């Protein structure tokens, strides 16, 4: 159980999350990718905490779990709202916050 294996796992999880974030349009999938990335970071923090015998990393990881939970609530609530007003959960269709006029 060397730390390198944990790093590897964390990197793989992060990458999967990143790719998912960039390439998927479904808002839920977007959310899950974000969660995945956050989890990967958590794992990394915990591993470093153990490797360096520093408690800071674990503390941050714990705090992050709480924050992630809150974020989950907000995010999912927003998705519900978005669906109710726009009848879509395709992130590509939500592009009003850009320069007006021109074709893009």
Partner 1 sequence: MLSLIVILPFLSAFLMALVYLENAQKKRYFFYTLVGVGTPLTVTVLSFILGSQVLAGSDTIYQTLLQWIHVDNFNIEIAFMADRLSIVMISFITFIGTLIHIYAAGYMKEDEGYGKFFAYFNLFMGSMLLLVLADNPIMMFIGWELVGLSSYLLIGYYHNESSNITAANKAFILNRVGDFGFIMGISLLFVSLEGSGFTFDSIKEHINMIDKETLSLIGILLFIGAMGKSAQIPLYVWLPDAMAGPTPVSALIHAATMVTAGVYMVARYSFIYIEIPDIGLFIATIGAVSALFAAVIASYQSDIKKILAYSTMSQLGYMFMAVGLGAYSSGIFHVFTHAFFKALLFMGAGAVIIALHHEQNIFKMGGLKNSMKLVYITMFIATLAISGIPPFAGFFSKDAILVIAFATEHYILWGMGALTAMLTAYYMFRLLFTVFLAQPKEAKNLQAVPASMTTPLVILAFGSATVGFLGANEAYGGSAWINTFLSLPDTKLDISHAKEYMLGGLNVLLGLLGMGFAYTLFAKEAEATKVDTLFKKLVVHKFYIDEIYAFFIVKPLLLLSRFIANVIDPRIFDGFINFNVWGYRRSALLFAKLQNGKVRYYALYILIGVSGMSYYLILKLGVI
Of 31 and 43, the one with the shorter C-beta distance to partner 1 is: 31
Interacting residue ranges for partner 1, rule: CB under 8 A: 18, 21-25, 30, 91-92, 94-99, 102, 104
Of 33 and 47, the one with the shorter C-beta distance to partner 1 is: 33
Of 53 and 95, the one with the shorter C-beta distance to partner 1 is: 95
Q: What string of DSSP letters covers 2-70? A: -HHHHHHHHHHHHHHHHHHHHH--BHHHHHHHHHHHHHHHHHHHHHHHHHHT-HHHHHHHHHHHHHHHH
Element (H, E) at 79: helix 55-86
For residue 97, the minimal CB distance to partner 1 (Å) is 5
For residue 101, the minimal CB distance to partner 1 (Å) is 9
């Amino acid at each position: 159980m060397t730390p390198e294996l944990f790093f590897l796992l964390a990197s793989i999880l992060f990458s999967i999350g990143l790719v998912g974030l960039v390439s998927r349009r479904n808002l839920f999938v977007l959310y899950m990718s974000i969660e995945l990335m956050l989890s990967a970071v958590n794992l990394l923090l915990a591993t470093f905490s153990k490797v360096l015998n520093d408690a800071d990393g674990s503390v941050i990881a714990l705090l992050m779990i709480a924050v992630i939970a809150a974020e989950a609530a907000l995010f999912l609530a927003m998705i519900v709202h978005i669906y109710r007003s726009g009848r879509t959960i395709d992130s590509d269709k939500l592009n009003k916050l850009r320069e007006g006029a021109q074709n893009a």
